[in-house]
A and B are shown apart, each in its own frame.
Chain A
């Protein structure tokens, strides 16, 4: 965290310090929600929104420039497309391996884990894809709506 306090001089110190402390824990919790969707309430959408919220919190407290340092616009564009690509890719992969579309047990030919275990792992793969997609798109929505499309100075 370089000289963030200087060039946003007027900002309140308390907000910035507390946000600086909270953001890492929010992100870890977001990852937990995505990955732990099998055993506890959660999954791709909920975890993705929490991860997206951590970047939005950064943008609110430190200004859009800082949040764009942590996720640049081009990385965001790649992640936007990567999420649905993972999901559809897994579906197409199942079809290519002789099964029906989105039939994860067909991937058993790829790595023999057993068809039922592959279903559980297939669900995990798409949860990751959905999480990536929702995170990057939530951040994109905030950046666009708050800056009116110029993506330079937020609220």
Chain B
């Protein structure tokens, strides 16, 4: 039993992000209101961003901006700075998240103008008629 507890404690950040992801995932597929689906999508994307950035953490590492002259003189060792790669990847993921949310909001406006409601059940009713 304690191995599981030990493991959870050692990797608690993954557990938190997976719980966040699943809240977002459930909202995306379970909720009936279209705006709530969109909010769920945002939660899902943000939790993936947190998940990625947490992989870059190094115990005792500083921010990835090094002093230029010290670096040119070659006194920068990797252990003292955090891994920069996940930060770069997540810049891209944030921009992608913003873009998809922007397009989804524009499409939602079109749907509201067309059907006057954002509840999926009412829209499906209007379609049957």
Contact = CB atoms under 8 A, between A and B. Distances in A.
A and B touch in the complex (CB under 8 A): yes
Interface residues on B, range: 10 to 19
A131 to B, nearest CB: 13
B95 interface: yes
Where chain B touches its partner, the secondary structure class is helix
Given A45-B91, A45-B95, A145 B109 contact: yes
A40 B66 CA distance: 10
A44 B109 CA distance: 30
Interface of A: 39-41, 43, 45, 141, 144-145, 148-149
Nearest to B87: A41
Interface of B: 63, 65, 68, 91, 94-95, 102, 105-106, 109, 113
Contacts, number: 18
B102 to A, nearest CB: 5
A39 B105 contact: no
Nearest to B109: A148
B65 A39 contact: yes
Given A39-B65, A40-B65, A145 B91 contact: no
A45 B99 CA distance: 13
Nearest to B63: A41
